[in-house]
Amino acid sequence: MGSWLSRRDFLPAGLKADQVELDGNRIRVHAHSLDASAACPRCGTVSRHVHSKYWRRPADLPAHGREVELVLLVRRFRCCAAGCPAKIFSERFPPDVTRPHSRRTSRLQELVRHIGIALGGRPAQALAVRLLLPVSKDTFLRSVRAKTEEAAAEPRVVGIDDWAWRKGQRYGTLICDLERRKVIDLLPDREPATVEAWLRARPGIEVVARDRNGGYGGAAARALPDAVQVADRWHLLENASAAFLAAVQRNMPAIRKAIGVETLDPRLLTAAERLQFEGFQRRQQTNHMVRRMADEGVPIKRIVRLTGLSRGLVRQIVRGEREDVFRIRESSLTAWLPRLEREWSGGCRNGAELWRRLRADGFQGSLRVVGEWATRQRRAEQAVPSGTGKSPPARRIARLLTMGRDHLTRADAIQVVRIEAALPALATARELTDRFTEMVRNARESALGAWLDEADDSLLSSFARGLRSDQAAVAAALREPWSNGQTEGQINRLKTLKRQMYGRANIDLLKARLVAAS
């Protein structure tokens, strides 16, 4: 141990080693402070009069595969100041050595804190056993919580978005500094009053990036009337796509007639599709009843009371949004549909071969999913030419209408031409959607006013009215470089931390781990 003791860098600065002992699997280092005097913590008077001594035993970083324990000689001094209430005080070691009453050196405590931030409680404890750190899971969590926050610069550009404590039931708010790309704060709810109070306490904020949630917009307008609000561009594009899909769904009866599918042969359906068709037939009875009452002038609120249906469902029926026979859900295959259609058009009609090709590019779904898709494609090709099959679902039609014509197969291109010829209003809505997408992607703020004027009289009128009510934020999104993408990324990190702690962490621990690691 002599060569190790002769080094001066194994101990924190300000200490001198007196003796090193090897006790089993533990290295014990006796040391004392190099200072001959100490300052009174009460009055600051420097004293050299030693009253007594005692030992402290803080744990230090492990070395050579063994735990390390410092045995620090601590001196008690007499305070010579006449008016000081502390007659006797213990010397204080520098903060980079250890802190008062701490059971670990500062450098070990910093390591404990970083491991706690990265892993949490129980996983950190499991790793600590391998690193020879005598720390429990509760100590890791206390270390993460107890870290004093450093004074941060006043934020100038912030992003605000909500996150789910429990999806569909309880939500919180995450606030991100977009310039420094780090989380500033977590709020326990998404109430406008909570966000407004937080913003009022920080008058230096100049830009607030948010989604099109009206609550956040109103809170920012009341708290910071001079701040620029920026709508999130991704949400604008997503809202435009949803508005066009809703327009397609409302026109599905006319679309079926346009592509020559007026009747449906149940013999061509799979078992799952047959169940959907039977459910559609049952829904049609309810749809006819609600539409008849609406045509007679009965208000929606009264229809809800008479039928027992929800307000949202009644609105969907009145707007014609429940006319699609085959309503599909998102699946593992959704993102791969364009690739499947290209392979199918290229002549690959075997489900197993299609699955192998997708699998080679990273597809994680099963062979059964791809095989069922191939079966539906073959049956659709057999059925559609005869005029007695089933039309594609609304989501597929919306995708075909918005795709570039050079990316369509001949059959799909013919379907698109028939639909646009029979429904010029839908063709106009498709053109408006394409123009809006191009306007957002190329940041053409000057084109927004003209686009809104045209969209007011189209199938996208509801979407246009929503944009008009938030026009200043939408225009800022086309002008400013800020967006809520960084905030969305931080929410993904927050979700990872929540799952890592099995959803049991409260907001102070989530905030400590998220902010400290930013």
For 298-354, give the DSSP string. Answer: --HHHHHHHH---HHHHHHHHTT-S--SS-----TTGGGHHHHHHHHHTT---HHHH
Name the nearest CA neighbour of 121 among 511, 509, 516: 509
What is the dihedral sign for C-alpha 332, 338, 343, 344?
positive
Q: Which helix (H) or strand (E) holds 288?
A: helix 271-295
Amino acid letter at 351? G
Give residue 56's Cα distance to chain centre.
46
Does residue 151 sit within a domain? no
Higher-pLDDT residue of 487 and 515 is 487
Does residue 461 sit within a domain? yes
Same domain? For 224 and 257 the reply is no
Same domain? For 163 and 216 the reply is yes
Is 141 in contact with 511 (CB distance < 8 Å)?
no
Is 80 in contact with 47 (CB distance < 8 Å)?
yes
Is 54 in contact with 74 (CB distance < 8 Å)?
yes
Amino acid 270: pLDDT: 55
Poorest-pLDDT segment among 98-102, 189-193, 328-332, 365-369: 328-332
Q: Is the pLDDT of residue 105 over 60?
A: yes
Q: How confident is the model at residue 80 (pLDDT cuts 50, 70, 90)?
A: confident
Which whole number is the average pLDDT over 487-512? 85
Angle among Cα 508, 147, 149 to the nearest 5 degrees reads 80
Same domain? For 220 and 243 the reply is no
Spatial distance between the Cα atoms of 96 and 353, rounded to a whole number of angstroms: 64
Does residue 358 sit within a domain? yes
* H-only helix segments in 27-132: 106-119, 122-130
Which whole number is the average pLDDT over 360-386? 74
Q: Identify the CATH number of the domain in which residue 206 sits.
A: 3.30.420.10
Does residue 43 sit within a domain? yes
Same domain? For 141 and 165 the reply is no
Spatial distance between the Cα atoms of 229 and 470, rounded to a whole number of angstroms: 10
Q: How confident is the model at residue 269 (pLDDT cuts 50, 70, 90)?
A: low
Same domain? For 284 and 326 the reply is yes
Angle among Cα 35, 39, 44 to the nearest 5 degrees reads 155
CA dihedral 303, 304, 309, 311 (to 10 degrees): 110
Domain limit, last residue, from 68, 102, 136: 102
What's the total number of domains in the chain? 5
Q: Which residues fall within 8 angstroms of residue 340, CB to CB, at 6 or more apart? A: 333, 354, 358, 370, 373
Does residue 5 sit within a domain? no
Amino acid 264: pLDDT: 54
Same domain? For 86 and 50 the reply is yes
| Total-model pTM | 0.62
Rg (CA), the chain: 34
Amino acid 455: pLDDT: 93
Instruction: Print the domain residue range for 55.
Output: 15-102
Same domain? For 442 and 297 the reply is no
Residue whose token pair is 């991100």: 176
Q: Is the pLDDT of residue 11 over 90?
A: no
pLDDT digits (tens, 9 = 90+) for 461-474: 999 999 999 999 99
Same domain? For 22 and 90 the reply is yes
Q: What is the bridge-based pairing of β-strands 26-33 and 170-177?
A: unpaired
Spatial distance between the Cα atoms of 237 and 505, rounded to a whole number of angstroms: 34
Does residue 1 sit within a domain? no
Give the tokens for residue 68: 């390390």
Amino acid 8: pLDDT: 46
pLDDT digits (tens, 9 = 90+) for 217-246: 899 999 999 999 999 999 999 999 999 999
Domain limit, last residue, from 336, 358, 387: 387
Spatial distance between the Cα atoms of 414 and 410, rounded to a whole number of angstroms: 6
Which whole number is the average pLDDT over 378-392? 55
Amino acid 384: pLDDT: 44
- % pLDDT > 70, the chain: 88
Q: What is the bridge-based pairing of β-strands 207-210 and 157-166?
A: parallel
Same domain? For 369 and 282 the reply is yes
Same domain? For 377 and 270 the reply is yes
Cα distances (Å, whole numbers) of residue 71 to 32, 280, 314, 480: 8, 79, 76, 59
Same domain? For 175 and 313 the reply is no
Amino acid 502: pLDDT: 79
Name the nearest CA neighbour of 437 among 447, 427, 424, 426: 447
Amino acid 241: pLDDT: 93
Amino acid 150: pLDDT: 55
Spatial distance between the Cα atoms of 170 and 103, rounded to a whole number of angstroms: 40
Spatial distance between the Cα atoms of 261 and 301, rounded to a whole number of angstroms: 36
pLDDT digits (tens, 9 = 90+) for 241-260: 999 999 998 888 888 887 76
Domain limit, last residue, from 67, 102, 137: 102
Does residue 473 sit within a domain? no
Is 467 in contact with 474 (CB distance < 8 Å)?
yes
Which whole number is the average pLDDT over 36-57? 90
Same domain? For 324 and 370 the reply is yes
One-letter-per-residue 3-state SS of 399-460:
HHHHCCHHHCCHHHHHHHHHHHHHCHHHHHHHHHHHHHHHHHHCCCHHHHHHHHHHHCCCCC
Amino acid 240: pLDDT: 94
Does residue 477 sit within a domain? no
